[in-house]
Chains A and B, each alone.
Chain A
Amino acid sequence: MDLTPEKLRLIPMVALIVIGCFGLLNSKTMLRSLLSLDVIDTATISIFVLIAASAGSQTPIVTASRYSSYSDPYPQAIILTAIVIGFATQALLCAIALRLGRRSPMLRYRDLEK
């Protein structure tokens, strides 16, 4: 397996996923796991965008002057849905955190899991 520039670009994103998973598995409060989930979400979306850009980094819009190397529009179009879904997940989780925070403001798992 050789390391092409396309693969090298993915390394920070994989590191971000690992950081997010570490945070999710080690978080003691609800808010932290919520933020960790968002980190993983962002990393996944970035991976999609980077893979779409492996063919070229120009905007895939057809105009009078055609670009020579435009990026693959298919994954980019699909990841839009994932972005919206990630946002919705965060909103729902925040709503739950608000409700639970009335009783136990620290939102610690130790208090909530009883």
Chain B
Amino acid sequence: MIDHQILFPFLIFLPALLGFVGCVIPKITFPLSVVMLLGYAASSFNYIGRDIAYHFTLVGEGGIQFSVDSYSFPLIFGSCITLLIVFGLFFKKFSHYYYQICLVLLSALLISFTTVDLVSMFISLELLGFSAFLLIADRNDRKSLFNSFQYLIGGGLAMLIYLIGVVQAFTFTGSFLLEDLVKAPETALCLIVAGLLTKSGVFLCGLWVPNIYSHANSQSSSVLAGCVTCAGIAPIARMSQILNPISDSMIVIGVISAVIAAIYAVFERDSGRALGWSSVSQLGIAILSPTYACSYAMQHGICKALLFSTLYSGKADENLDSSAITSSHNMPSRPSATNEFLRVIVFVVASLSIMGFPFLAGFITKNWIKYDIPYEAKIIYTTAALLTSTVYARLIFDRIKDFASQPYARLVLNLDRASKNLSDLFSSSQNYILILSVVGLILASTAAPDLFTFSAVQSAIVSAILGGILFVSVVGIQADEFVKPVTRTLDLVGAPFLVAALLLANLIYLKI
């Protein structure tokens, strides 16, 4: 038995080490990193839900403190699974140094999930920002370069705001520990929380999310939606657990974010942007309850990664990537109808899971949050859930319509080809990953059987049906350009200031 004082730091820095080694010998390191991700996912899955906490300190007495506890395990599991899905589905399309960046990103994520020290948090969030910047710029055209510029300048400013908050807290408490923030003044708390909210992409601070998700590569959007936005969730959950004013403010911000971003998503025409807005709305829901925030973010991250991976058909995806390259002339063999059908099924299942449909993972996490928030927030939470259902009803409808309009769609349901379709299904390794993830989403719903009361199942199904009806009723007013995309740099940069000011007003005067 190795001492966990040595084991955990090693485990945290192992991904970064593999990433840097992978730059030198990429072929050998890739299978190693997949094995490592599987190991992380399996071992963290063991600890989810159990009340175990390991504390350790780097460089001896008075060093940097880490705490691997119930906040960290779900998020570690979610990020590992997201990265595994992305590695499995998009391995052939990875550009140079892509998976190495993902591994460094994982290291930054692990630090931000486990640290209880404000300065380590700052460093890990900056490292995360750089990795995310490289992932966004991976598509390498003018618009994505500009998007990544906006992300970096907005994120850099948010982290400076965070740093000013940290130094103000330091003058009052004399330490950089998260738990000592109890003695810190309100202004410091506001600045810190505004920085964290920007990184996690909650509404107003998270205006960058839809632009970037809709334009980046499918693989980059999956990683960004699945892992990067989770990084701010763990510290926010830790802070609202110990600080009552923060947890009250988080309910206000979360509710506002959940509803307004969902409304934006309903009126958005472009599927990618609608997914981005819905991501903002879901993270708003996640910060409502400190206890279950991490589980919710985990479920949302995995589902979003699946959604972004299967949003476009395999063929369209290749066109998207190689639009400038001449390979569009000699297209590879026509995509198999079965593979496309499988992608549609995965898309539908992941959407239903985020809607909170019974017998899927989303149902469990949604109900945990629902029973944990105060009564006043519950009605608005229900509204947000309904709007989410509407968004996903539209997305599912669009995706199926897109699939049905393809010439090969009819082949799938043709009984004569059933045996060939079945053999197609097990022909490629990507299909195995997709099937496994769907089975996993369904199996995850057995984690808490006591939640399957009649009323809960009933309300979930009713909200799904109501969402469909609402979609039919709003489809008429979805005019072109109803929602103007927020692309101005000024809006993206100014948002953290606004949120910090609002938070300060809330903490000092309004006291909601």
A positions within 8 Å CB-CB of B: 17, 21, 24-25, 30, 33-34, 37, 40-41, 44, 47-48, 51, 75, 78, 81-82, 85-86, 88-89, 92-93, 96-97, 99-100, 103, 109, 112-113
User: Contact at A24–B164, with CB atoms within 8 Å?
Assistant: no
Enumerate chain A residues within 8 angstroms of B163, measured Cβ to Cβ.
44, 48, 82
Enumerate chain A residues within 8 angstroms of B342, measured Cβ to Cβ.
none
User: Contact at A82–B122, with CB atoms within 8 Å?
Assistant: yes
| Bound Cα distance A86, B152 (Å) | 11
| Bound Cα distance A17, B487 (Å) | 25
Please report which residues of chain B, range 102-137, place their CB below 8 angstroms from some CB of chain A when the two chains form the complex: 119, 122-123, 126, 130, 133, 137
User: Contact at B170–A75, with CB atoms within 8 Å?
Assistant: yes
Evaluate whether A33 and B153 lie within 8 angstroms (CB atoms) in the complex, with A25-B494, A81-B119, A85-B126 already known: yes
| Bound Cα distance A48, B146 (Å) | 32
User: Contact at B176–A78, with CB atoms within 8 Å?
Assistant: yes
Instruction: Decide if B142 is an interface residue (CB 8 Å cutoff).
Output: yes
Enumerate chain A residues within 8 angstroms of B157, measured Cβ to Cβ.
24, 37, 40
Enumerate chain A residues within 8 angstroms of B137, measured Cβ to Cβ.
96
Enumerate chain A residues within 8 angstroms of B88, measured Cβ to Cβ.
none
Q: Which residue of B lies closest to A26 (CB)?
A: B490
User: Contact at A99–B145, with CB atoms within 8 Å?
Assistant: yes
Instruction: Decide if B178 is an interface residue (CB 8 Å cutoff).
Output: no
Evaluate whether A113 and B142 lie within 8 angstroms (CB atoms) in the complex, with A37-B157, A78-B119, A93-B149 already known: no
User: Contact at A33–B489, with CB atoms within 8 Å?
Assistant: yes
| Bound Cα distance A37, B156 (Å) | 8
Min CB distance B20 to A, Å, is: 16
| Bound Cα distance A113, B489 (Å) | 8
| Bound Cα distance A49, B142 (Å) | 39
Min CB distance A74 to B, Å, is: 8
| Bound Cα distance A111, B126 (Å) | 29
Cβ proximity bits B463-494 to A, threshold 8 Å, 1 near / 0 not? 00000000000000000000000011110011
Instruction: Decide if B368 is an interface residue (CB 8 Å cutoff).
Output: no
Enumerate chain B residues within 8 angstroms of A82, measured Cβ to Cβ.
122, 163
Q: List, sorted by A's number, 15 A–B pairs whose CB atoms are closer than 8 Å.
A: A24-B493, A25-B493, A33-B489, A33-B493, A44-B163, A51-B167, A81-B119, A88-B130, A89-B156, A92-B152, A96-B137, A100-B145, A109-B489, A113-B146, A113-B488
User: Contact at A48–B167, with CB atoms within 8 Å?
Assistant: yes
Instruction: Decide if B97 is an interface residue (CB 8 Å cutoff).
Output: no
User: Contact at B130–A25, with CB atoms within 8 Å?
Assistant: no
User: Contact at A37–B487, with CB atoms within 8 Å?
Assistant: no
Q: Which of B130, B487, B493 contacts A113 (CB 8 A)?
A: B487
Enumerate chain B residues within 8 angstroms of A40, measured Cβ to Cβ.
157, 160
